Amino acid sequence: MKRINHISKAVASILMAIITVFVYMPLTSLAINENFDNPDDDLISQNEQLTDLLSENPEDAPAVSADAYILYDANSGTILRGSNYDVQKEPASMTKVMTILLALEKLEMTDIVTITPEMAAAMAEIPGDYVRFGLQEGEEITVKDLVYAAELISANDCCLALGMYMAGTEAEFCAMMNEKAAELGCKNTNFTSAFGYADPENLTTAYDLSLILYEAVSNTEFTEISRTYSYTVNATNKYSDTRELTNANRFIKDSDFAYDYYVGGKTGFTDTAGFTLCAAACKDGRTLVGVVFNAEDSEVRYRDLVSLFEYGFSHYTTVPVSEEEFSSLIDEARLQLDDLLADTNLYVESQTCAMSSYVTTTTERAQLGSSDKVDLSQVLVDSSASEQTINIPLCKCYSDKTYIVGSLNIEITQKGSVVEITPEKKTGLKTFRNILITFAAASGLILVLIIALLIFRRKIIQRRREQSGQRSKML
């Protein structure tokens, strides 16, 4: 009997091990591989898209003579055309864009600025061939007058007065300028002048300046000032007469260079910086920014930018992107993921989307049409991890390129001990059915073994009885 009991216990242990393996054995990884009828090209990431068009080098692109230049699509953040756009250069009076931007953000146009002795002393250091408005110590003048003079005639003393009024000293104001530049995403900018003095340390790039100018033209006051043909400064306590200002920017004052879509910008020139110009143009809700450094001459810089703007508007297309256009594809992907996790102890806790606002490509490519895709080809779930995040690319597919325009972010976690009743009953029922099937199979196996043990035990007992009867007869 003891031998039988030992056998029974051993069989029971084996059975429990079998049950444990069948019910609790985890999968180390789960994958979805879904092929859509789309190009097999490598996906172009959102960051790569910012410069991807530069590699195409179309033969009909306009030639630009400047040492460095850029044509920037402000809606999508894409660089359409450019050369040396990340090389630091002296911006000359294009520096004033930042000074005027900060004045519009931090001051009221009706504020009165009094020219202090410190301001007057700093203005006296401005070189004689630099443009001045003629501010005097003790003069009281509005912020509005100073801003218009700085933008329309590039008055250096007005820019200096604004900077010192905001920060106390020019050096402290330059720190404010650099802080704002960093906030806008500029990485190669270092302002040491409030107005664009020819300082080899006062540097920025075509790309950085395009970010600064776009921020400025996003302010409607800056656009209004930039497009003003003339402005009258009223008499002050130091000047009894009014002073008339005429916009020196040829996009405004000169019919030969007039550009209907111009919304704001700034010229610049010093002997070391050469002829510089930054401008923004808006057409059909799309904003392009152009910047040129060290153009051949004063007129060429305008022609170069007009050529770039016309080419940008006609040869490139920028389209809005939204989560809504991917909603049905996202729902389908979610169903596949739920089905994948159905036989595990994992579930989707939450999902979010992060989308680009716009995508830019060539007009020719856009005219051939596009399709949307949720790319599941690289989805891999680790079923042994208690928590994990998977990022699924959302793509816009053209004939020869596939752009990632967003990401479906899925948070996956382990199920708790409490069973939740959710609308997704199909997955729960499937898991429960599988457990029942496994349990039934194991129970059947146990029953067969028990019956076998009972038969075996019965035969042993019968054999012992026969042996006992034989011994009795012998006695």
CA proximity to 77, closest of 311, 348, 405: 405
Task: Say how far apart CA 368 and CA 347 lie, in whole Å.
Answer: 40
**Residues forming a β-bridge with 244:** 232
Q: Specify the pTM.
A: 0.80
Judge whether 394 and 405 are in contact, CB under 8 Å. Answer: yes
Task: Say how far apart CA 255 and CA 240 lie, in whole Å.
Answer: 33
One digit per residue, the tens of pLDDT, for the chain of length 475 reads: 444 455 455 545 555 544 443 333 344 456 665 443 444 457 999 999 999 999 998 999 999 999 999 999 999 999 999 999 999 999 999 999 999 999 999 999 999 999 999 999 999 999 999 999 999 999 999 999 999 999 999 999 999 999 999 999 999 999 999 999 999 999 999 999 999 999 999 999 999 999 999 999 999 999 999 999 999 999 999 999 999 999 999 999 999 999 999 999 999 999 999 999 999 999 999 999 999 999 989 999 999 999 999 999 999 999 999 999 999 999 999 999 999 999 899 999 999 999 999 999 999 999 999 999 999 988 999 988 999 999 999 999 999 999 999 999 999 999 874 434 343 434 444 455 556 666 666 676 777 677 767 777 777 767 766 665 555 444 4
Other Cβ atoms closer than 10 A to 298 = 12
Domains present along the chain, CATH in parentheses: 33-50+322-414 (no CATH), 63-318 (3.40.710.10)
CA proximity to 208, closest of 364, 98, 319, 51: 98
Contacts 24+ apart (CB under 8 A), 9-15: 11/449, 11/453, 15/442, 15/445, 15/446, 15/449
